[in-house]
Each structure stands twice: as C-alpha cells, then as structure tokens.
Structure 1
Amino acid sequence: MIKHIVFFKLKDRSPESVAHTASVLRSMNGKIKEVLSLEVGIDMIRSERSFDISLTAVLENLEDLQAYQVHPVHQEIVQHINEVKDVSFAVDYEI
C-alpha cells in the first residue's frame, strides 16, 4: 500500500479561504476508485511554520497512485490548488 501525503500553504491564509480549499479537496472523496481512503485536515496551531491543510490518501500500489494523479476529478482539484497555493510539499511511501 502507498500513503500519499500533501501539505498546502495558501496565499490567503484566512479561515474562510482555508475552509473552502479543504472542502474542495474533500470533494474528491468517493469519486476516484483507486483512492482507498482520503483525509483532509486543517491546521489548528496556525504558526508561521505551519501548513494550512494536509491531505492524506491511501492507495493500493504505485499504479493506482499514478492513475489518481491523472484522474479527471483530481485534475480539477489541481487547477484550484494551483490558483490558491503559495507552496506545497508531498511525500509518498510504502506502508
């Protein structure tokens, strides 16, 4: 299994903006068959070093991760993220 984790720091870090983008990310839930589980979290601490949002997805294997990356639903989300993010970091590892 593969765990895919992404952290997002937004240009607009207001609670409304963060909540909206978290909602956009959560809208993928159940729409991409390769994603076994999807969790989106909003940072509670809001320190300067904090990221605003995390996304954690679990997928069966690398092929499913690659299918997720190009899936039309994911690509719509990527368009939104590219408009609102300041920076993002990701890690993918085997579990």
Structure 2
Amino acid sequence: MITHIVLFKLKDRSPESVERTAQVLRNMEGKIDVLRHLEVGVDVLHTERSYDIALYTKFDSMEDLQTYQVHPEHQKVIAHMNEHRESSVSADYES
C-alpha cells in the first residue's frame, strides 16, 4: 500500500476559502477507482507554521498513485490548487 500525504497553505486563509478548497479535495471521493482511502483535514491551530489543509490518501501500488496523478478528476483539483495555493509539501511512503 502507498500512502500519499499533501499539506496545502492557501493564498486566502479565510475560513470560507479553506473550507471551499477542502470540499474540492473531498469531491474526489468515489470518482477515482484507484483511490482506496481519502481523508481531508482542516487545520485547527492556525499557528504561523501551520498549513491550512491536509490531504491523506492511500493506493494499492505506485502504479495506482501514478494513475491517480493523471486522472481527469485529479487534474481538476490540480487546476484549482494551482490557482489557490501559496505552497504545498508532500510525502509518499509504503505503508
């Protein structure tokens, strides 16, 4: 199993903007067959070092993660994030 985690810091960090973007991420659920698990969390601490949103996903294999990366539903999310994120970091590991 492959775990893929991404943290996003948004340009507009207002609660409305963060929730709108979190919903864009949640909307992938059930639309990408290789996506085995999807969890979206919104930061509750709001410290200077905090990121606004965490995306936690799981895939059966590296090949499935690569399929996800180019899937049309994920590409819509990427387009949204390119417009709204200030920065992001990610980690991918075998689990």
Q: Given the two structures, how large is their TM-score scaled by the length of structure 1?
A: 0.99
CA distance in 2, matches of 1:73, 1:80: 11
Q: Secondary structure of the equivalent of 2:32?
A: coil
CA distance in 2, matches of 1:39, 1:30: 12
Corresponding residue number in structure 1 for 2:36: 36
Q: Secondary structure of the equivalent of 1:92?
A: strand
Corresponding residue number in structure 1 for 2:63: 63
Count of matched residue positions in the alignment of Structure 1 and Structure 2: 95
Corresponding residue number in structure 1 for 2:90: 90
Q: CA RMSD in A?
A: 0.3
CA apart distance, 1:18: 0.2
Identity, in percent, stands at: 57
The runs of 5 or more residues in structure 1 that have no matched partner are: none
Q: Given the two structures, how large is their TM-score scaled by the length of structure 2?
A: 0.99
CA distance in 2, matches of 1:41, 1:73: 19
Aligned residue runs from structure 1 range 1-80, under 5 A: 1-80=1-80
CA apart distance, 1:68: 0.2
1:43-82 CA-to-partner distances (Å, cap 9, x unmatched) read 0000010000000000000000000000000000000000
The runs of 5 or more residues in structure 2 that have no matched partner are: none
CA distance in 2, matches of 1:39, 1:51: 15
